[in-house]
Amino acid sequence: MDISVVIPLYNEAESLPELAEWIERVMDENKFSYEVLFINDGSTDDSWDVIKSLHARNPRFKGVSFRRNYGKSPALNTGFDKAQGNVVITMDADLQDSPDEIPELYRMITADGYDLVSGWKKKRYDPLSKTIPTKLFNATARRVSGIHNLHDFNCGLKAYRHDVVKHIEVYGDMHRYVPYLAKIAGFTRIGEKEVKHRARKYGTTKFGLDRFVNGYLDLLTLWFQAKFGVKPMHFFGLLGSLMFLLGFIAVIVVGGHKLYSMYSGHSYRLVTDSPYFYLALTSMLLGTQLFLTGFLGELIIRHSNDRNHYEIGDEITDDAQPALEARTRVDQLPDQIAKTVPNQPANP
């Protein structure tokens, strides 16, 4: 199968028939073999009934319906799990993404060799209250992820090589960072295509301004997992050691100052009367806790099933030598049999 189109949706019953007809026309014009996976994320309107009617008309339109609303990331992850096409394309169901972009996205994956191609809605039909935070968000994502050639991480229109969607897990609200997830999994050939952004025709947006706050928190989580996910001691251990060392030096300084005052005949006060003493003890305690956190993290990872799980892109094994030895043993069988069987008299 050439293409799987994965479409997560929530309350988009009005747009689905038009979107399905548009996709069908593009696929037929380009003679693609395809499937369309509608992932109904717990819609409360007639979206699921529309999907069932589309399937009855064209079996290549398929669907999965959640019992309740889980979010876009679980919907995408479910679609990725069920997709069978050599190229997987995602798009939103609100008609703001154009199916006319599919042939070029497919070509960039199959001919240009990209692992992932992300759309870039250079000209957007959104208010400034959305476009300005989006620009800041994407600038931060580029800096943290190291994927500097992408202008729009959160564009719903993307194309993936089949292997990519089978080796990443989209969870929480990580759909904003699928290119970063792909990079962490070892798929680094990431490209971008400028795509048209269409004004919403039906319904209203399902995302509020809180997505920007949550987006930054998710980006921080991904950065930490990518950098210290399998070596937490490098973060917690280092930070804990520094805090403990600073606290220990501060205790020595406070105690040394008292001893100096005592032997010099100057007035002095108890060490416990100094606030610096308690700050030093607090620093030492926090440093010890952070160090133990890193140590426990290392133990958990070492004993987890995924400790030595690494993604293998390709493998070459030396199977020729065992096969050669087996053929040699088989070729020697007639000689061995002849040596063990006594000479028989010729037939009269």
Which pLDDT value is given to residue 334? 47
Would you give per-residue pLDDT tens digits along the chain (348 residues)?
999 999 999 999 999 999 999 999 999 999 999 999 999 999 999 999 999 999 999 999 999 999 999 999 999 999 999 999 999 999 999 998 999 999 999 999 999 999 999 999 887 766 666 677 778 888 888 998 999 999 988 899 999 999 999 999 898 888 889 999 999 889 999 999 999 877 766 666 655 556 656 777 777 777 777 777 667 888 888 888 899 999 889 888 888 877 877 788 777 777 777 788 888 889 999 989 988 888 887 777 666 655 445 555 556 555 545 545 545 554 554 454 344 444 444 443
Which pLDDT value is given to residue 315? 60
- Retrieve residue 91's tokens: 């798009």
DSSP line for 35-57:
EEEEEE-S-SSSHHHHHHHHHHH
Inter-axis angle of helices 128-145 and 210-228, nearest 10: 0
Domain boundaries, the chain: 3-228, 233-302
Which pLDDT value is given to residue 34? 97
Which pLDDT value is given to residue 40? 95
The number of angstroms, rounded, from the C-alpha of 136 to the middle of its chain's C-alpha atoms is 21
Which pLDDT value is given to residue 54? 96
Handedness of CA 140, 144, 149, 152 (dihedral sign): negative
- How many Å apart are CA 128 and CA 134, to the nearest integer? 9
Which pLDDT value is given to residue 106? 97
Model confidence, pTM: 0.70
Nearest residue to 199 (alpha-carbon basis) of 105, 118, 121, 90: 121
- How many Å apart are CA 125 and CA 145, to the nearest integer? 27
- How many Å apart are CA 119 and CA 154, to the nearest integer? 9
Which pLDDT value is given to residue 314? 56
Which pLDDT value is given to residue 125? 63
Q: Which fold has domain 3-228?
A: Spore Coat Polysaccharide Biosynthesis Protein SpsA; Chain A (3.90.550)
Which pLDDT value is given to residue 264? 80
- How many Å apart are CA 300 and CA 309, to the nearest integer? 14
Start-to-end CA span in the chain (Å): 68
- How many Å apart are CA 232 and CA 332, to the nearest integer? 58
